[in-house]
Chains A and B, each alone.
Chain A
Amino acid sequence: MTSTKPAFRHPKLAQNSLGLTRKDYEGAVSTLCAGCGHDSTTNAIIQACFELNIEPHRVAKMSGIGCSSKTPAYFLDRSHGFNAVHGRMPSIATGANMANRDLLYIGISGDGDTASIGMGQFAHALRRNLNLNYICMNNGCYGLTKGQDSATADMGSTGKRGIPNPYASIDLCELAIELGASYVARGFSGDKKQLVPLIKGAFAHSGLAFIDVISPCVTFNNTSTSTKSYEYVREHIEATNTFDFIPLQREILTDYAEGTTQEVIMHDGSIIHLHKVDSKEDVTNRLNSVNKLEEEKAKGRLLTGLLYVNQQIRETHDILNTSLRPLNSLTENDLCPGNTELQKINDSLR
């Protein structure tokens, strides 16, 4: 049962430039387990939208099936949401986006929804570079069906069921980069400081922004032997960079040493400033990004942060050269050629 939150809030809540408070970006009360990583991710989405001054009703929330896919009910309740079928969020998002290019699209999926049943749609949405903020809440298990291993569970990782996973795991970030994604990041639901700017960057990005959020399942996969537990992730996390997101070319103030930052100008004019541990790393180089992921994996570390970004890849509407007007706004006058043209066609068929 979806329930609503108490309406009362502190009367002096901070407002953003639209005059909205953070409350205006919230949704119904979560029905997920207490401590679920997904709730933290939901909060990061709320925070990012609030800080970016996004009009809530200009966002469409899409999801598949699973615990993660329930979360669109828990944020942005002034937005339309679409909880589709298992693994098919990308195609629904594709159609919705084709119908109205003026809205912002956020797609929520999970590791089962993306890396197993939805692998095909995930791959092809990436290939098409759909303008979509694709967030995968990744906990390495199927929560709603009580904790079976998913395809992102690491080999040997053991959840509450007590049987080590015997299969190789799929690294969605590496795969995304290889499939032609234009924005790939990994976050941790327990690190909001990193996750919020990653989501903001994704909203500013034109094309498919994929964020793999490691989001522990407290009920089935938070054991001491699981590699997707809070404890394990905290111990093995490696940030490739820290991250400033500067919306729409505001004054940039940086206090980092020269040579360790990389500036990425997003399509809408926003700027991402990366403050890197290693100044040689280049997040716009695909080969470098994949190598870096593999290197850290070999060391037993989980690399997070903005992993790869490429602003040169055209998004689907640009590839198709569709009208700048939303297709769903076109009327008979725009669409119907009329009877005179039809009579010419008749003539050509005689």
Chain B
Amino acid sequence: MNRIESVNDFVIRFANVNGSGSASANNLFARAVFRAGVPVSPKNIFPSNIQGLPTWYEVRVSGDGFLGRRGGIDMTVAINGQTMQKDYHDLLPGGYYLYDSSKQLPEDFQRDDVIVIGIPLTRLCSEEFSNPKLRQLLKNIIYVGALAFLLDIELALFTDSVTRQFKKKPKLAEPNIRALEIGFNYASEHYQDTCGLTITKTDKLGDDILMDGNSAFALGAIYGGATVAGWYPITPSTSVIEAFDRYSKTFRIEKDTGRSKVAILQAEDELAAIGIAIGAAWNGSRSFTPTSGPGISLMNEFLGLAYFAEIPVVVVDIQRAGPSTGMPTRTQQADLLSCAYASHGDTKNVLLFPCDPRECFELGAAAFDLAERLQTPIIVMSDLDLGMNDHVCGPLSWDDSRKYDRGKVLSYEDLETRHEKWGRYLDVDGDGICFRTYPGTHPTKGAYFTRGTSHTEYSAYTEESSVYKAGMERLLVKWDTAKTLVPSPRTKIRDPKKNIALVFYGTTTHAAYEAMARLEKRGTVTNSMRIRAFPFQDEVINFIDQHQQVFVIEQNRDAQLRTLLIAENSISPTKLQSVLNFDGLPITADFITEKISALLEAGSTAGKKQP
């Protein structure tokens, strides 16, 4: 049998029962790999449940720095009796199956191409620890200790993490370190030279960090100056507000009074959540609401109001698998159309597409500037994979000389010295953006009536067709202005002849880059464009125009980005071929590579003519 041999390049899947405390053990493992300087990408695949159902934690280790899902499993840590069988069968040939050997493996586990590693976790744990609650948790730590030996990772990387984690409760660190040692020792006594997977320290990561996207967005909102947040609990967006609350307690408490420089309100539903954000934004506070697909559906009416009455508000959509309640704990990029055109009537919203936590931070902070500059809703399109999983990314940084762009707002002095007549919806600069005022600014000037009904340039109610039409057309001028302000795409040109291009966005990025490298090894050189915003700039359209064949890679069924590209820019549908993953799990490099190879082959046999 050929066992899998690999240094710094493999996938380990942990199969656990949710609510058993496995998350912290598995995080400990991923962080130790990270601290060894090896690029690592952990993904939580968890149920919509609190306790008792299967949950998996898939850790991709990639010395080459590929951070998307690869596909395939080289080692399984099988702790969940319910899924043992499936986990066993899902292993690649030559893979490793680590299980709790306190109980014998069932007889039908007869693969001859799998290396079985039995560690009697329950027995070892019971022998050492008497507290039943602690036993449950430490059983998980024991297998982490065993992995440290099997994969040849310095035990100190784990013990340091534990010490750091329990800095304030050193008494809790002790049993954790003991559990690590038990696992490590048992594996070293019984499984010398068994495992062909190895972690070797590198300095690949430089000053990179390991962070989840939701915390990063929350930090972006703190740095971006958000002071009001309305929210309603919904997976997978809830940890945005938890992080925002946590950071607020660190950074937003007035030293002299102990009072908070932020108002966070748990609303009665998503309608109220965005209503709170819009009310605050109207009154001059930077505000946001985090949500997911079902919340976006509920927020539609208010998004239309904010679009038409021109109120800056930031929404972050941590997308999950729809439609309806869908798979609440699985990932997708399936809200593009519902966000881009959210609300009845002719409505278009600006979307931003971060691909990693650093961009969640940067685009998160930038969203507040954009919202106030454009006086319109900005929707940051994250997803469950990005929001809830830890990702390796470059360090966060902030230019201390940066000023918030509060957009076109008239102060008391402006109103005093202004000679021409002011109109809330009067476009004096030709960019489609008008000057606004905050309530309470001036005793006699600058008051206006905000409404979702049609209005004149001076914000009076009107049903005059020409006035209504002019207002709607001005919003298109603003839409064009938005194109000049939103983040530009990132392109990679490897083939100057511009034959084949890959277009993608958000969390598809990492697997797509890996697929490109693999295609190149097979002799297919491709160019790529990572779209970072909607509306699309000319640059996006030109890039597509210049290529012969364009693959649009997305994580939804209906090719939503492709639809947007066709609808907004008259790109010929025949030019854009879709590569779509919508099974609720993060897209893999395997899938993209094979799909594109197959499409290319089909294209060449059909005489390069695509249906």
Contact = CB atoms under 8 A, between A and B. Distances in A.
A92 B439 contact: no
A72 B268 contact: no
A332 B452 CA distance: 31
Given A88-B272, A103-B439, A332-B404, A2 B283 contact: no
B201 to A, nearest CB: 14
Interface stretch (B79-87, B171-179, B253-261): B253-261
A342 interface: yes
Interface stretch (B6-14, B191-199, B225-233, B479-487): B225-233
Nearest to B228: A98
Given A328-B227, A335-B225, A349 B283 contact: no
A95 B450 contact: no
A339 B440 contact: no
B443 A55 contact: yes
A225 B411 CA distance: 54
A56 B208 CA distance: 54
Interface string B309-333: 0000000000000000000000000
A346 B453 CA distance: 47
Contact of A96 (B222, B279, B441, B447): B279
B440 A103 contact: yes
A317 to B, nearest CB: 8
Given A80-B450, A85-B452, A339-B400, A57 B259 contact: no
Contacts of A328: 227, 280, 283-285, 438
Max chain A C-beta neighbours (<10 A), residue from B402, B460, B463? B460
A321 B399 contact: no
A124 B210 contact: no
Contact of A338 (B264, B302, B398): B398
A350 B210 contact: yes
B104 interface: no
Interface string B252-279: 1010011111111101110111111111
Interface string B199-236: 00000000111110000000100110101101000000
Interface string B431-454: 000000111111110011111110
Contact of A335 (B252, B450, B452): B252
Interface residues of B, number: 76
Given A328-B284, A328-B285, A336-B223, A83 B397 contact: no
A5 to B, nearest CB: 14
Nearest to B259: A323
B209 A94 contact: no
Contacts of B438: 80, 100, 328
Given A85-B452, A91-B276, A330-B227, A345 B219 contact: yes
Contacts of A60: 283, 439-440
Contacts of A334: 261
Contacts of B262: 322, 327
A314 interface: no
B461 interface: yes
Nearest to A24: B444
A79 interface: yes
B282 interface: yes
Contact of A342 (B282, B285, B397): B397
A97 B278 CA distance: 11
A322 B258 CA distance: 9
A100 B438 CA distance: 10
B239 to A, nearest CB: 15
B462 interface: yes
B210 to A, nearest CB: 6
B400 A92 contact: no
A349 B287 contact: no
A297 interface: no
A262 B207 CA distance: 69
Given A100-B284, A323-B259, A84 B440 contact: no
A67 interface: no
A109 B425 CA distance: 26
Interface string B28-58: 0000001100000000000000000000000
Contacts of A342: 219, 223, 396-398
A159 interface: no
B280 A95 contact: yes
A95 B282 contact: yes
Sorting the interface of chain A by its residue count into under 10, 10 to 19, 20 to 34 or 35 or more gives: 35 or more
A113 to B, nearest CB: 13
A120 B259 contact: no
A308 B316 CA distance: 41
Nearest to A350: B209
Contacts of A345: 219, 396
A342 B207 CA distance: 13
Contact of A1 (B269, B277, B452, B461): B461
Given A83-B452, A323-B259, A346-B207, A2 B461 contact: yes
B552 interface: no
B590 to A, nearest CB: 29
A6 interface: no
B282 A96 contact: yes
A56 B439 CA distance: 11
B443 A339 contact: no
A88 B283 contact: no
B283 A99 contact: yes
Given A79-B439, A99-B228, A336-B225, A94 B261 contact: no
Nearest to B219: A345
Contacts of B553: none
A141 B448 CA distance: 29
B395 interface: yes
A123 interface: yes
Nearest to B210: A349
B384 interface: no
A247 interface: no
Contacts of A128: 265
Given A321-B259, A345-B396, A91 B271 contact: yes
B369 to A, nearest CB: 12
B473 interface: no
Contacts of A2: 460-461
Given A88-B271, A98-B276, A337-B251, A78 B443 contact: yes
A318 to B, nearest CB: 10
Contact of A124 (B225, B251, B267): B267
A324 B283 contact: no
A330 B282 CA distance: 15
A77 interface: yes
Nearest to A346: B395
A99 B287 contact: yes
A350 B208 CA distance: 7
A80 B219 contact: no
B275 to A, nearest CB: 3
Contacts of B443: 55-57, 78
18 contacts: A2-B460, A62-B279, A80-B437, A80-B447, A80-B450, A82-B449, A84-B275, A84-B305, A94-B272, A95-B228, A98-B228, A320-B260, A330-B261, A336-B222, A341-B251, A345-B396, A349-B210, A350-B34
Given A84-B278, A96-B282, A327-B261, 15 more contacts: A57-B444, A60-B283, A78-B443, A82-B449, A83-B453, A92-B279, A95-B285, A120-B268, A120-B272, A121-B272, A327-B228, A328-B285, A337-B251, A343-B395, A350-B207
**3 A-B pairs with least C-beta separation:** A95-B279, A91-B275, A99-B285
Interface of B: 34-35, 207-211, 219, 222-223, 225, 227-228, 230, 251-252, 254, 257-265, 267-269, 271-285, 287, 301-302, 305, 395-400, 402-404, 437-444, 447-453, 460-463
